[in-house]
Every structure is written in C-alpha cells, then in structure tokens.
Structure 1
Amino acid sequence: METTEPLLTVEGLNVEVTIEGQRLTALKDVSFSLDPGEARGLVGESGSGKSLTLRAILGLLPPNVQVTSGRMVFDDEEFIFGGSKHATTAKRLVKLRGSKISMIFQEPAVALNPVIPVGEQIVDAVMRKDRMRKRQARKYALELMQQAGIDDAETKIDAYPFELSGGLKQRVMIAAAVAGRPKLLLCDEPTTALDVTVQKQILRLFTRLRDDLGASLLYVTHDLAVVAQLCDSLTVLYAGRVMEGSNDLRAILDHPRHPYTEALLHSTPDIDQISRRLYSIPGSAPALNHQMSGCPFAPRCEYRQDDCVVAPIPDMSDIPGREVHCLHQVGSKPPPDAIREHLQLDRPEEGAP
C-alpha cells in the first residue's frame, strides 16, 4: 500500500510571550501533521492559541513573542526552533512566505494597503513569485480575481479596498494568497466577519481552489459547522495545548473523547432548534499568567478528578491517528441529533447521489 509523507509536521511547538519582563507560556508541546491536499481545522475558544500557531509556523510573531523550542518539517525541509539553529530557521521561513506557504487573514481591510488599487497588490504578489512583465502579471491577476469569484473583475482590478464590500476584499486577499501557487494555505478565521451567505460562497471557493491547486489548508475557526463542511481532520486547542486531535474528522465529531471537545459540540448554536436551550461552558478560559501543571480545562470540566491537576496529561488514545489528552474521557455516545444536523454530519456531500 502506497503511503504519503505529510506535507507539514509540527512537533513539540512551544511559544513564550514576554509581558512586563515576565515570560509566559502561550503554546505548549503543540503537535500535528497535514498531508498533501488535506484540510485540517484548528478549533478552540478565543485565546486558545489557534492564530498564534499559524503565525509561529510562518515566523510572523511580534518581538515579545518567541518560539522557544520545537521542530517543523515542511515539504521535506526541516526547521528547528530555539537554540543555535533558531536564527537560521527564521531566515529560511521568510523565503516560504507567499511562495510555498500563504496566509489569509481574518480582516482583509487591515491586511490590504488602503492607498493602492487591489489589482496592483495582486500584481506585486505575482511578480514576487514569477518573473513576469507587469502587463503579463496584470493579466494573470485578472484571471486570479475571476477564479476567486469576483464579478466584473476588469473594473474591480483598479478599485481601492474602501470601494469594495467585505466579501470582495476577502476574495482579493484569497487571489493574492494563491498567486504564488502555494502548497499550503494558512487560513485565520477568514469568514468570521462575513454574513452567512457570503461565508458559504467563500467556503465553496476554498474547496475549489484546494482541488485546483492541490494545496493543503490549515484552517483556524471557532465554528465547528465550518469545520464539518470544509475539513478532513481536526485539532482542538485550549489554553495553548492540544486537548484532542484526529486524522478522521467524522470520528472526532461523532465520538468526542475529551470533555472540552464534547462541550464545544454541545455549545454549537442551531437556529432550527429554537426551543433547545443553548449550552454554555461554565467559567472562562485561564489567563495567560495562570499556569497549571495538569489539564488546563480541569476547573471547568464536569469529569474532573483529583489526578487531573497533578501533572501534564499525556496522549491517552490507543487509536492510530487519534490523540486525547484526558485521564477521564467521555463515553462513546454520539452527539445529540440536533448537533449532528447542524454540523451536517448525516447529509450527503454536494453532488453526491
């Protein structure tokens, strides 16, 4: 049986933030892998470390944030974080940006230059990757805008960002991101600020671009319904640590093993079930300066026992491709029907008979 090497492997990623002279752990031993053409979701509440993970991979961290240790292998090239090799790794990561790895941000209005027409910004991305004359690069930029679903691209190419709607700005960002034909797209909640109709269009666009480019997606979101529509695999983060992960998305959504994953599923809203009281996870996520030796979710967990807070929780799963950092796991019962319906777990794929 033919096996495929992962496009991206992240092992033991540790990130620290320095605030007022105090070094605080923001990511601790984060690990996962991504195969060629695969889409993996990174989910969790705000402050769980999702966006920070993307920025660490691409080396886009502010001066007070540092990757202290870890290892990454991308496209058969190894990158070592921390120690004597860290400076070399940082320089090598710069060469990947916009070429082999591109990032799509949550707020295109912030990412786009407000005083330069959007077409020129895509042209710049094209010319950085390929040696094209400007006229040729503009023609290619126009094709990219059309592929990104921008109607009347011939007119929109000379528009400034403030003249475009949020959905059009996001499409421009996507066109610029794929200009270099990257192997990996890092998506930082790119549909959060859009209405549901535009969001659905953008998700379909990601699926099509993924097929056309053969690219992998690492998709950050807090919305499990989006993950269910777009992704093949899932990693659940909480307080900068991996709680649960699986190479099989349906397995983890059908049978969550970590109480935090179960709680996220139960707190998913469903407008078709207005009589159902929306579940909310009690308490709040720990502050960055509140370090715990055991499971960080323990204070909010209904399954907690005394041993949950004693020491770091190792991977307790014995299933290949699955990890569960929990000593007292959830039973194997599937989520309620209302949640399954909202996540479209039982609906046929689009185009399926």
Structure 2
Amino acid sequence: MTDRAPLLDVADLSVKLQVGGTELHALEHVSFSLGYGEARGLVGESGSGKSLTLRALLGLLPPNATVTSGRMTFDGAEFDLAGTSRSKRRRLERLRGTGISMIFQEPSVALNPVIPVGEQIVDAVMRRDRMRRAEARDYAIHLMKLVGIHDAENKVDAYEFELSGGLKQRVMIAAAVASKPKLILCDEPTTALDVTVQQQILDVFTDLRDELDAGLLYVTHDLAVVSQLCDSVTVLYSGNVMESSADLRDMFDAPRHPYTEALLRSTPDVDRIGRRLYSIPGSAPSLDDRPRGCPFAPRCEYRHDDCEEARVPDKSTSSGREVHCLHQVQQGVSRVALTKEAR
C-alpha cells in the first residue's frame, strides 16, 4: 500500500425503489474506499444490495431506482451521485468503459450473438482510441491472449454461441480492460463457471491488477473467492453495511459483527470433512418489512432489546474497521473455524 489518496471513495450512498406506489429503501448510507491496485470484496446474501451498489456508481440503475444521497471521489474527481440531472448523468457516462469498466455475471446476455466477439472489442477500441480497424483488430487479439484465450487469432472471429462459458467470460474481461481502466467493477463474474475455470479467471484478475495497477470492486457471495482475491472487504445485509475492514485477514480471523461471523461459519471447510454445515436461521427481511433497528437482529444469536430500537452507528474502535453492532463478537469467543487458505 502507498500514501496515495484512495482511487475510489464512496460516502453515504442511499438508493430508493418505487414499487407499486410504495417507496422502499434498497441501500442506506453505504460507504467504503478502495486504493489503487487494491481489490475489495462486497459480500452478503442475495438481495443485500451488492449489485445495486455497482450500478449506482455508474448511473446504471433501473428506471424505478433513485439515488437519494451519496458522493463518489474517483481518481481525484468528485461526483454527486444523487439526483438525475443531465449534467450528472453525462459525467458518469464519460467514465463508463474508460476510467471504470464493468464485468457482468452472465456474458451470454452482454455479448451480441450476431456479431463476432472480436468485432465487439474492435468497435469499442476504435471509438475510444481512434485506431484504424486493422490496428484495433490486432489489439483485440493481444487482449484476448492477455486474458488467456489460446488460438486468439481464430477465436476473434467466433460468435458468442460457439464459445464455452469460460471463454465468453474471458472475452468480456478483454473488452473491459481494452481502455486500460483504473477501476474494474465485477458483478459475480465466476458464479456460473465450474471451479476449474473459476480459478483460471481469478488468476486473470490477479494478473490484471498487477499489470494495470487497477482497483477491483468484486461482488460475490463466495467467501472463498474473497479470501483468495481480495485485500479488503465490506459486508452488506439488507442494504446496510454490517462490517467493513481495510484488512481482510483481520476480519476473517476476528469477525466482530454477528452476521460476518455467521457467514464465515456457514462456509464449507475442506479441512473438516463431515462437520455439519452451519445455517443462518430465518431469512433476510423484505424491503417493505425491514426492522427499525439492526436489520440482522431477528436472526442474531447475540441480540438484545436495544438492537431493535434504532439504526446502529459505527461502533468500531479500530482504524480501518467499521462495525455496526451494539453487542459485538468478542475476540477469542468467535466460533469461526477458518480453512488454512483463509488464514
């Protein structure tokens, strides 16, 4: 790490959804930062607000969603994320595919099935860098080789439906890094892949971080992926930050929020075959029935009456740590047994 200011700093991000005439709070006061060359994981159960956070940063929210508060500082430039003015939208649009790129979960949806995959990279490169087509094609082949696509000279002319899931995702990564972005947003890009291909894709991300000095904001529900790839982590639940740490190992070794501990306890441990897998009781609240206080309180083994009274502010006393919990897991008491890889 260096003394440079963060590449990305997000403060007080809140998003509301309009559903059937009802206004629902989807994200509430989410804040985190990310350094140059750093990878931060955004983790939590489905519906916790991870993907919505990524889309809010680029102005890619659905029509019924509105950012009600939030500021972003990216590479020294400040952006007000709230509101829908044309000037604000244009500033975010100029970031897309240049300073910030995004890789989606399902490449089959993102890739055009009637245009060769290489042409989709070529067109993007020509628009951004004003290259001639032959030069842009050579650059596209170079990018495809960079992300581990063998026989790229032939694969550049293939169509989406002719490629395996792993190759499609590599094409998406090649397109995302074509403009040498400083930040790559990753929305569960390996979820649909088998474990062997997933490992290969994670290796590609690690290499790209080193080569481009790019930051990664990586959305996933898989803590094993976070342990391998990320330096820092933010845990979301029901649109709220439960716990966040600039040092992933510190949080994994000593989780302070009961939800973080529960997620770690429910992660399979290859070193303890036969151990009964822990399951978090209950289910996450719906947006229209969220508790007034800590949203995790109804499922929490540590809860007290005061947990349900009001939203819990940051109660961490450690630098680089954020913990929204009144009755934190005490050091030495946590019931988490991590794998050797996570340690």
TM bracket (short chain): over 0.9
How many residue pairs were aligned? Answer: 343
Q: Does 1:109 pair with 2:108?
A: yes
How far does residue 269 in structure 1 lie from its aligned partner after superposition? 1.3
Please show how residues 1-353 of structure 1 align to structure 2 within 5 Å: 3-83=3-83, 86-333=85-332, 338-341=337-340, 344-346=341-343
How far apart, in 1, do the equivalents of 2:194 and 2:71 lie?
A: 38
TM-score (norm 2): 0.97
Counterpart of 1:243, as a letter, is: M
Distance 2:2 2:189 in 1: 34
**Cα distance in structure 2, aligned partners of 1:29 and 1:280:** 28
Aligned position for 1:349: none
CA distance in 1, matches of 2:88, 2:47: 26
1:318, CA displacement in angstroms?
1.1
8 Å CA contact 1:265, 1:335 repeated in 2: no
Structure 1, unaligned stretches of length 5 or more?
347-353
With over 3 angstroms needed to count, the CA separation of the structure-2 counterparts of 1:62 and 1:286, relative to structure 1, is same
The amino acid of 2:30's aligned partner reads: V
Query: Unmatched 5+ residue regions in structure 2?
Result: none
Secondary structure in 2 matching 1:289:
helix
- Local SS of the residue matching 1:269: coil
Which amino acid in 2 is paired with 1:16?
Answer: K
CA shift, 1:88, in A, is 2.3
Report how far residue 336 of structure 1 moved: 6.1
Report if the CA contact (8 A) 2:69-2:82 is conserved. Answer: yes
% same residue: 69
1:49 partner letter: G
3-state SS of the aligned residue for 2:114?
Answer: coil
Q: Kindly tell me: are residues 334 and 191 of structure 1, through their superposed partners in 2, closer, same or farther at Cα, counting changes over 3 Å?
A: farther
Instruction: Supply the AA of the counterpart residue of 2:324.
Output: H
Q: What is the TM-score of this pair, normalised by structure 1?
A: 0.94
2:70 aligned partner, one-letter code: G
Deviation at 1:128, TM superposition (A): 2.3
1:3, distance to aligned residue in structure 2 (A):
2.0
Structure 2 distance, partners of 1:207, 1:228, is 13
Residues 270 and 339 in structure 2, CA contact (< 8 A), matched pair in contact too: no
Q: Matched residues in 1 for 2:2 and 2:35: separation?
A: 14
Q: Is the 8 A contact 1:41 1:227 kept in 2?
A: yes
CA contact (8 A) 1:117 1:161 kept: yes
What is the rounded CA distance, in whole Å, between the counterparts of 1:88 and 1:288 in structure 2? Answer: 31
Q: Is the 8 A contact 1:114 1:161 kept in 2?
A: yes
Q: Separation in 2 of the partners of 1:263 and 1:89?
A: 39
Cα distance in 2 for residues equivalent to 1:88 and 1:235: 30
CA–CA distance in structure 2, aligned partners of residues 117 and 330 of structure 1: 53
Whole-Å Cα distance in 2 between the matches of residues 301 and 71 of structure 1?
31
Shift >2 Å, 4+ stretches: 85-88, 270-274, 333-341
- Separation of aligned partners in 1, 2:138 and 2:333: 51
- Once the two structures are overlaid, the 10-residue window that deviates more, 221-230 or 332-341, is 332-341
**Coordinate RMSD, CA, aligned:** 1.5
Change (3 A) 1:20 1:158: same
